[in-house]
Amino acid sequence: MNIVLTGALGHIGKPLTQTLIAKGHSVTVISSNAGRQHGIEALGATAAIGSVADVAFLVSAFRNADSVYCMIPPNYSEPDQIGYYERTGSNYATAIRHSGVKRVVDLSSYGAHLEKGTGVITGSNRVERALNAIPGISLTHIRPGYFYYNLLPFIGMIRQAGFIGSVYGDDDRLFLVSPDDIADALAEEITTPDSSNKVRYVVSDERTCRETAQILGAAIGIPDLQWKTLPEAKVLASLLGNGIPEGTARSLVELGAAIHSGILQEDYERNKPVAMGKVKLTDFAKEFAMAYRNSESKTT
For residues 237 and 181, state if they share a domain: no
pTM for the whole thing?
A: 0.95
Q: Are residues 134 and 192 in the same domain?
A: yes
pLDDT at 276 over 70: yes
Answer yes or no: is pLDDT of 298 > 70: no
Q: Is 155 among the domain residues? A: no
Altogether, the residues listed in the chain come to a count of 300
Residue-level pLDDT at 137:
96
Identify whether residues 181 and 251 lie together within a single domain.
no
At 194-216, the pLDDT tens digits run 878 799 999 999 999 999 999 99
Rounded CA gap, 172 and 42, in Å?
43
Would you list the DSSP string of 201-258?
EE-SEEEEHHHHHHHHHHHHT-TT--EEE--HHHHHHHHHHTT--HHHHHHHHHHHHH
pLDDT band at 79 (very low <50, low <70, confident <90, very high): confident
Tell whether 134 is covered by a domain: yes
Mean pLDDT throughout 274-284? 96
Portion of the chain with pLDDT greater than 70, in percent: 99
**What CATH number is associated with residue 277?**
3.90.25
> Three-state SS for 290?
helix
pLDDT in tens, 84-122: 999 999 999 999 999 999 999 999 999 999 999 999 999
* Cα separation, 138 vs 122, whole angstroms: 23
Backbone dihedral angles phi then psi of residue 268, each to the nearest 5 degrees: -60, -45
41's CB contacts (< 8 A; 6+ apart) are 47
Domain count, the chain: 2
Last residue of a domain, one of 165, 188, 203: 203
* Whether residues 133 and 18 fall in one domain: yes
Q: Please tell me the distance from the alpha carbon of residue 27 to that of residue 118, in angstroms, as a whole number.
A: 34
Cα–Cα dist 137/100, whole Å: 9
Is 199 in the same domain as 233?
no
Q: How many CB atoms lie within 10 A of CB 76?
A: 9
The answer to whether residue 75 scores a pLDDT higher than 90 is: no
The reported pLDDT for the residue numbered 194 is: 85
**228, β-bridge pairs:** 165
Highest mean pLDDT among 67-81, 141-155, 243-257: 141-155
Domain end marker among 164, 188, 203: 203
pLDDT tens per residue across span 17-58:
999 999 999 999 999 999 999 999 999 999 999 999 999 999
* Cα-Cα end-to-end distance for the chain: 51
Q: Are residues 235 and 184 in the same domain?
A: no
**Domain hosting residue 259, numbered range:** 206-298
Residues 261 and 190 in one domain: no
Task: Judge whether 188 lies within some domain.
Answer: yes
Q: Classify residue 7 by its DSSP letter.
A: S
49 CB-near residues (< 8 Å, 6+ apart): 30, 31, 32, 33, 34, 37
Do 261 and 142 share a domain, yes or no?
no
**Are 103 and 77 within one domain?**
yes
Burial track 203-217 (b if 16+ CB lie within 10 A, e otherwise): bbbbbebebbbbbbb
Cα distance between residue 149 and residue 165, in whole Å = 16
Do 192 and 239 belong to one domain? no
Please indicate whether residue 195 or residue 164 has the higher confidence score (pLDDT): 164
